[in-house]
A and B are shown apart, each in its own frame.
Chain A
Amino acid sequence: MVNNTLVGYNKKELPGKIQVIGIILLLAGLALGVIGFLTDYVRALHNYLVMFMFLISIGVGSLFLITLEYIAGADWSVPFRRIIEFLASVIPVLFILVVPLIINMHDLFHWTHLEAVEHDEILKGKAPYLNSTFFIIRAFVFIAIWFLFYLLITRNSLKQDKNFDQGLTKRNIKLSAIFIPIFAISLTFSAIDWMMSLEPHWFSTIYGVYFFSGTVIAALAAATLVTVLLMENGYLPSIISYDHLYSFGALMFVFVNFWAYIAFSQYMLIWYADLPEETSWFVHRWTGGWEYLSIFLILVQFVVPYALLLSQPAKMDPRRLKIAAIWLLFAHFVDLYWLIIPSLSPKGYTFSWTDFVFPLMLTGLMILLFVFNFKRNNILAVGDPKLERGLNFHL
């Protein structure tokens, strides 16, 4: 623990009650989740998958934001990098979280049913890619890759707190440059594996980019939310100004637009060409009540945040940003729900109470991980050479 008085940073401990809230949420979610598995097994499994994808979004998305900072040479985000690093700490947990999904694969993925594949020319053609062995290998390899980069980058960053070595920044820049192409590929194929292959006949080349856009929104929203909360409660140096918040607001705004752009492109092209092999996926999301969710998704993920963040003062207002961040986390959850659950009941919407269980578990987990990291490390990357520039950032 270094107290760097130069930047006016003194570490303040989090109140214990946050940890308690985290534990309660996690345990409640876990208990309800188990009940869900026992009562409505397949639905609960799909809801669990939604949560799993959400955690990939936050964890890997945060890692992407970190590497983006290094590679773009950005300085404004340096004071918040540690927060984002804490959020990325969910990556190692993915190793455990993926296990229930792998065990119950047979109930998630139609293509694991070998007898069905045998009578299906298209699935037979996909078998070299969509088979259980290769799938499991891919799942673990991707998580392992993310974990490796998470470990290397955060270790360098933490080491820098103590030795102020500029060489570590350089090393992280190199790691980031290598990570970003790997990130693009691994995230794309994760999205294809975990979500697109739920409806194994359907395909869309933009799918990876679509998931990426949501991922970045979720990671940014999580980082913004934590930053604003910490700022309001005096955990960050007072020099941090509205100009910093503006960058968060602007980035969220940009990615909300980017998501809308990608989502519209995908929908418009499939709607326009009207080919039977492609439209099925959207038809499932436009029948029996799902159409309301589809329209709701447009509102929730684009229209509302767009209006919230449009004006320049709104992008700097901590209160507005807090609302927008919570809203966008919710939006990403709806997005993933919309991607996954209609594959389970393509005929129409069905209600299940298990839909609401796993967000509790997810929130509890993230709080605990954050508290755990917060206790052990500085919340400010005190050794980063760009920190001072970052703190003095002005528009």
Chain B
Amino acid sequence: MQSNTLFAVAAQFNEPNKLIKAVKIIADLGYKKWDVNTPYPVHGMDAAMKLKSSKLGYVTLFFGLSGTALALLLMWWTMSVDYPMIIGGKPFFALPAFIPVTFELTVLLATLATVIGMLSVFFNLPNNSHPLHDTNYMQRVSADHFGIYVEADDKKFNAEELRTLFLSLDAVQVDDIYVPLKEKYPILQPKFLVFLTIVFAVTSAITYFTLNYLLYMEPFDWMVSQAKVTPQEKVETFRDGFGMRQPVKGTVARGFLPYKFMGMPAPAESLVNPIIPTKETVELGKRKFLTFCSPCHGNFADGDSRLRGQFQNPPTLHSTRVREMNDGMIYHIITNGQNAMPSYAPQITREERWSIVNYIRVLQRAKNAEVTDVQKVKKEPVKNGQ
């Protein structure tokens, strides 16, 4: 099925040397739209055809570098910005460990870009409707002949001249190649519509089956059904029916020290402060006091709550009663709670509670300073500005 429009005049040679000779002449004559078809790449043809060297390398370079940059960016963002996690003691941006993936992505992007770029942009493929296809010329150059053709579109094209030229150069055969008729592919064709319907039906069926059945089947159910006891579940295994087991009676939690005066109005005299008031422990006490005590008792334990009457204000801790309490008693109140104040034992550790006691002593001392204290300070100036 070909039209009467001439596409090109094509000649076949049976030897690469003859072809090279013809190519040099055609190139020298100044033709623009012509090409050579050989069953394999013939060396020295680039020079004979006066082709510029391939620019494909730039595509590769560009996409290769993009791959490098993308890989590093992805790993930097995921591993050190979006979800930073210390893994194996390595830094968030662990460059040596990122090199392998960076390399792979560089290669992947570079090669895919090279091939896709070459085939689709440089060659304009796929193209199965080129006039050369399905011609005797194509079949011969595909096998064992060496062909050259000049397109009719070329400004200098003269079919008769070219034929004589090729024959004079010892061409085995010279053909005229015509542009094929355009084939039409109407969409509203019963065959095509049936095909479309079948594709639609099959796709829908598979999707429905996958989403509604397959994903709930063993073993594809994402381990939803497993032979295990979930929290709060009733089980037959144990007489009490609890899935979660209680600790054995008398189990002691790690780091747990029993406080034997819990619930009593006051501890025994034997409860003494084990923490020596040093700078560190007092500061610890201050921190904890400010965190846990100051909301109600006030920053300086004056009983000036910040809670704006949500609870009743506690009394000041600078009263004589409190000042005369021993450390054990204050500790006991923090640990046990008193009146409206709950127990702080779960929030504050034992050492911290004793440190708070020390800090309260510091506050009390500061609020009730005597003249002799000032003299003492003058006599021995405090170092470091404290």
Contacts and interface: CB of A to CB of B under 8 A. Distances in A.
A372 interface: no
Interface of B: 43, 57, 88-90, 96-97, 99
Interface of A: 264, 267-268, 271-272, 274, 311-312, 394
Contacts of A264: 96, 99
Nearest to B89: A274
A241 to B, nearest CB: 14
Q: 4 nearest interchain CB pairs?
A: A268-B96, A271-B96, A272-B97, A264-B99
A271 B90 CA distance: 9
A267 B57 contact: no
A272 B94 CA distance: 10
A272 B96 contact: yes
Max chain A CB contacts within 10 Å: which of B43, B89, B96, B97? B96
Contacts of A267: 96
B57 A312 contact: yes
A268 B98 CA distance: 10
B287 to A, nearest CB: 36
Nearest to A267: B96
A325 B308 CA distance: 82
A312 B88 CA distance: 42
Contacts of B97: 268, 272
Nearest to B96: A268
Contact of B99 (A268, A274, A312, A394): A268
A50 B99 CA distance: 31
Contacts, number: 16
Contact of B57 (A268, A311, A394): A311
Contacts of B88: 272, 274
Nearest to A310: B61
Prevailing SS type, chain A contact patch: helix
Contacts of A271: 96
Nearest to A270: B96
B230 to A, nearest CB: 39
A309 to B, nearest CB: 14
A271 B96 CA distance: 8
Contacts of A268: 96-97, 99
A205 B167 CA distance: 69
A264 B43 CA distance: 39
A250 to B, nearest CB: 15
Contacts of B43: 394
B376 to A, nearest CB: 51
B72 to A, nearest CB: 16
A267 B96 CA distance: 9
B58 to A, nearest CB: 10
A267 B97 CA distance: 11
A383 B89 CA distance: 63
A268 B96 CA distance: 6
A67 B280 CA distance: 74
14 contacts: A264-B96, A264-B99, A267-B96, A268-B96, A268-B97, A268-B99, A272-B88, A272-B90, A272-B96, A272-B97, A274-B88, A274-B89, A311-B57, A312-B57
A248 B318 CA distance: 91
A70 B16 CA distance: 33
A212 to B, nearest CB: 22
A267 B94 CA distance: 13
Nearest to A395: B43
Nearest to A269: B96
A51 B335 CA distance: 76
A286 to B, nearest CB: 13
Contacts of B57: 311-312
A274 B90 CA distance: 10
A268 B101 CA distance: 14
Contacts of A272: 88, 90, 96-97
B59 to A, nearest CB: 14
Nearest to A311: B57
Contacts of A312: 57
A274 B57 CA distance: 40
Nearest to A312: B57
A272 B90 CA distance: 8
Contacts of B96: 264, 267-268, 271-272
B46 to A, nearest CB: 12
Given A268-B96, A274-B89, 14 more contacts: A264-B96, A264-B99, A267-B96, A268-B97, A268-B99, A271-B96, A272-B88, A272-B90, A272-B96, A272-B97, A274-B88, A311-B57, A312-B57, A394-B43
B196 to A, nearest CB: 50
A252 B96 CA distance: 25
A268 B97 CA distance: 7
B107 to A, nearest CB: 13
A163 B147 CA distance: 48
Contacts of A311: 57
B96 to A, nearest CB: 5
B183 to A, nearest CB: 43
A278 to B, nearest CB: 14
B102 to A, nearest CB: 12
Nearest to A271: B96
Nearest to A313: B53
A203 B170 CA distance: 71
A271 B97 CA distance: 9
B213 to A, nearest CB: 45
Nearest to A273: B88
B253 to A, nearest CB: 35
